[in-house]
């Protein structure tokens, strides 16, 4: 399948100079689009320079409204406009090992969305403290149980989609802006009849730069999950009229 890898960035200059050569080595046939939210550290300029050296790397420079979900949606829309068959999303902070790209794309042959999972056999988060591991684990348990998602890691940002699945969910209707975006995408792909699969990944903590995660982002994701779950429950209990 003709594939493109979407990488959202904000102040990731120290990481993209390492990441992009690794991506090119791991997936030499795939194109790459870096979606940068006006990083003041020159991330976009560096990515463009690396694109000239490595080839087939495009940089989208976004102004105005920023955020993870909006940046990924912009990259997905760019990919759909150019008729790619497969679209991969991954983080820029080196927490997602580019070496897993071939397994994600291979599994997409029999699925509509493939999640790089930390919670299936072979997956791991080797350096997280116990409290962070527990928060992620139980947050995922809550989301997957309430929304009846057929995956164990609904918040993993390392995943591949068939373009047909992205078109089916209608990206303009996706509402979450933070990491709730990841849960919403799994939810919408499931509700539109998409087939989900998981492959194991080892998730590493970033070594350079600051994390974009915050309590507000976590709260937004949990609130949205609760809202969607309650809405689904009402629909199951109260039959539609007519």
62 DSSP β-pair partners: none
Spans of all domains in the chain: 3-237
Give the CA dihedral 203, 117, 185, 3, nearest 10 degrees. Answer: 80
Q: Who wins on pLDDT, 46 or 176?
A: 46
Read off the pLDDT band of 240 (50, 70, 90).
low
Give the span between the Cα atoms of 154 and 26, in whole angstroms. Answer: 24
Give the span between the Cα atoms of 123 and 41, in whole angstroms. Answer: 33
Residue-level pLDDT at 239? 60
| Residues 14-23 pLDDT 10s | 999 999 999 9
Read off the pLDDT band of 197 (50, 70, 90).
very high
Q: Which residues contact residue 2 at a Cβ distance below 8 angstroms, ignoring those fewer than 6 apart?
A: 83, 84, 85, 86
Q: Which residues contact residue 42 at a Cβ distance below 8 angstroms, ignoring those fewer than 6 apart?
A: 13
Q: How would DSSP label each residue in 100-159?
A: GHHHHHHHGGG-SEEEEESSSTT-B-TT--HHHHHHHHHHHHHHHHHHT-S-S-TT---E
Q: CA torsion sign, 66 to 69 to 72 to 73?
A: negative
| 238, pLDDT greater than 70 | no
| 206, pLDDT greater than 70 | no
Q: Who wins on pLDDT, 58 or 214?
A: 58
Residue corresponding to tokens 């939810």: 187
| Residues 52-104 pLDDT 10s | 999 999 999 998 767 889 999 999 999 999 999 999 999 999 999 999 999 99
Pairing verdict, β 31-36 and 57-61: parallel
Structure tokens at 78: 């760019």
Give the span between the Cα atoms of 35 and 59, in whole angstroms. Answer: 6
Give the span between the Cα atoms of 202 and 117, in whole angstroms. Answer: 8
Structure tokens at 117: 């999972």
Mean pLDDT over 129-136 rounds to 82
pTM surpassing 0.95? no
CATH fold of the domain at 3-237? Spore Coat Polysaccharide Biosynthesis Protein SpsA; Chain A (3.90.550)
Which SS3 state, helix, strand or coil, does residue 77 take? helix
Mean pLDDT over 98-122 rounds to 97
Give the span between the Cα atoms of 96 and 93, in whole angstroms. Answer: 8
């Amino acid at each position: 399948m003709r594939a493109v890898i979407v990488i959202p960035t904000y102040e990731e200059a120290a990481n993209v100079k390492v990441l992009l050569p690794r991506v090119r080595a791991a997936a030499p046939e795939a194109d790459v689009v870096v979606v940068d939210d006006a990083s003041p550290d020159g991330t976009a300029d560096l990515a463009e320079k690396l694109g000239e050296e490595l080839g087939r790397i495009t940089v989208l420079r976004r102004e105005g409204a920023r955020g993870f979900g909006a940046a990924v949606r912009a990259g997905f829309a760019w990919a759909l406009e150019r008729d790619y068959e497969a679209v991969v999303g991954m983080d820029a902070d080196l927490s997602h090992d580019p070496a897993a790209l071939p397994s994600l794309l291979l599994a997409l042959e029999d699925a509509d969305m493939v999640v790089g999972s930390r919670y299936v056999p072979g997956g791991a988060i080797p350096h997280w403290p116990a409290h962070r591991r527990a928060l992620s684990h139980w947050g995922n348990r809550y989301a997957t149980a309430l929304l009846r998602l057929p995956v164990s890691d609904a918040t993993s940002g390392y995943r591949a989609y068939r373009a047909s699945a992205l078109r089916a969910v209608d990206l303009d209707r996706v509402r979450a802006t933070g990491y709730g975006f990841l849960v919403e995408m799994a939810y919408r792909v499931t509700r539109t009849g998409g087939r989900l699969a998981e492959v194991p990944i080892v998730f590493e903590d970033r070594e350079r730069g600051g994390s974009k995660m915050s309590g507000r982002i976590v709260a937004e994701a949990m609130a949205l999950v609760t809202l969607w779950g309650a809405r689904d429950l009402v629909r199951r209990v109260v039959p539609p009229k007519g």
